[in-house]
């Protein structure tokens, strides 16, 4: 079965802004749907399983931040990005206090928009169930049992490899440096001038890749590693972090 692309609902009455938001969603591999009124946004968000909902504030029929509580009450688990020309700090605080997961002022930079949407999609993809199981794409990490599965396949890991994947999972989608791994997984606050990190990451990477049939831990050349089971393979993914 092929994984379906994540769906993003865009509730925006300005045609130019709506197209910019939809284009950013498509560039991230998501499927956008655009509606142009407050009421249409409420209906769509309640009736479809979206990963992210983008609400403008000044919509025909209402304020997008007032919709957040209503779509939550209707059962939506989507993360909400508010975009608005109301970009003062007080406006952002109001939006976040009313339940927005992020708030982006207009006019927005396309690169920043993509970064915000990418972060929300990653957060939505990783679910923590009963404070025990972390799920990111096909990878399942059970914190209490300290076990790792890819789909239905158990992946045997050593205690140190489990600490490593647990740290990666808490920072999924972000570049993790060798220094961070030394400090947080090995509790070393100095560089021992060994390849202990690369050896363990390489061993864990091979186990996960064999089970998943694709890369799970990627190399950010010269910077570190990125744990992202849903990312397309990159040419520089082989080898260490340089």
Question: In tens digits, what is the pLDDT along the chain, a chain of 242 residues?
Answer: 346 789 999 999 999 999 999 999 999 999 999 999 999 999 999 888 899 999 999 999 999 999 998 998 888 888 899 999 998 888 888 888 888 888 999 999 999 999 889 888 877 766 554 557 888 888 999 988 889 999 889 999 988 899 999 999 988 888 999 999 998 888 787 777 778 899 999 999 999 999 999 899 999 888 899 998 877 555 544 555 64
CATH fold, domain 133-227, is Arc Repressor Mutant, subunit A (1.10.10)
Bridge partners of residue 80, in order along the sequence? 53
Structure tokens at 238: 């082989």
Specify the 3-state DSSP secondary structure of 40: helix
Structural element, H or E, at residue 162: helix 159-170
Specify the 3-state DSSP secondary structure of 140: strand
Structure tokens at 95: 């939006």
What residues does each domain of the chain span? 7-130, 133-227
Give the integer Cα–Cα distance in Å for 139 and 188: 28
Give the integer Cα–Cα distance in Å for 18 and 11: 8
Structural element, H or E, at residue 192: none
The answer to whether the beta carbons of residues 11 and 80 sit under 8 Å apart is no
Say which CATH architecture domain 7-130 belongs to. Answer: 3-Layer(aba) Sandwich (3.40)
Q: Which of 13, 10, 30, 29 is nearest to 21 (CA)?
A: 10
Q: What does the buried/exposed string (b/e) look like for 41-69 if buried means 16 or more CB atoms within 10 Å of the residue's CB? A: bbebbeeeebbbbbbbbebeebbbbebbe
Contacts of 194 (CB under 8 A, 6+ apart): none
Give the integer Cα–Cα distance in Å for 187 and 181: 8
| Domain 7-130 shares a fold with domain 133-227 | no
């Amino acid at each position: 079965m092929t994984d379906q692309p994540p769906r993003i609902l865009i509730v925006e009455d300005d045609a130019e802004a709506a197209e910019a938001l939809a284009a950013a969603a498509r560039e991230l591999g998501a499927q956008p749907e655009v509606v142009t009124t407050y009421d249409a946004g409420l209906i769509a968000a309640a009736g479809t399983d979206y990963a992210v909902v983008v609400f403008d504030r000044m919509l025909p029929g209402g304020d997008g931040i007032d919709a957040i509580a209503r779509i939550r009450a209707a059962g939506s688990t989507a993360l909400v990005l508010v975009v608005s020309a109301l970009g003062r700090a007080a406006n952002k605080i109001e939006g976040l206090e009313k339940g927005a997961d992020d708030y982006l002022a207009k006019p927005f930079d396309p690169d920043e928009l993509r970064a915000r949407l990418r972060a929300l999609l990653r957060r939505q993809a990783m679910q923590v169930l009963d404070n025990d199981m972390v799920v990111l794409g096909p990878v399942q990490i059970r914190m209490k049992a300290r076990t790792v599965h890819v789909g239905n396949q158990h992946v045997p890991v050593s205690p140190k490899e489990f600490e490593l994947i647990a740290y990666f999972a808490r920072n999924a989608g972000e570049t993790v440096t060798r220094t961070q791994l030394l400090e947080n997984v090995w509790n070393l606050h100095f560089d021992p001038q060994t390849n202990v990190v690369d050896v363990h990451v390489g061993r864990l990477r091979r186990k996960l890749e064999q089970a998943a049939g694709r890369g799970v831990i990627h190399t950010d050349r010269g910077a570190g590693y990125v744990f992202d089971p849903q990312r397309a393979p990159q040419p520089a993914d082989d080898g260490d972090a340089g």
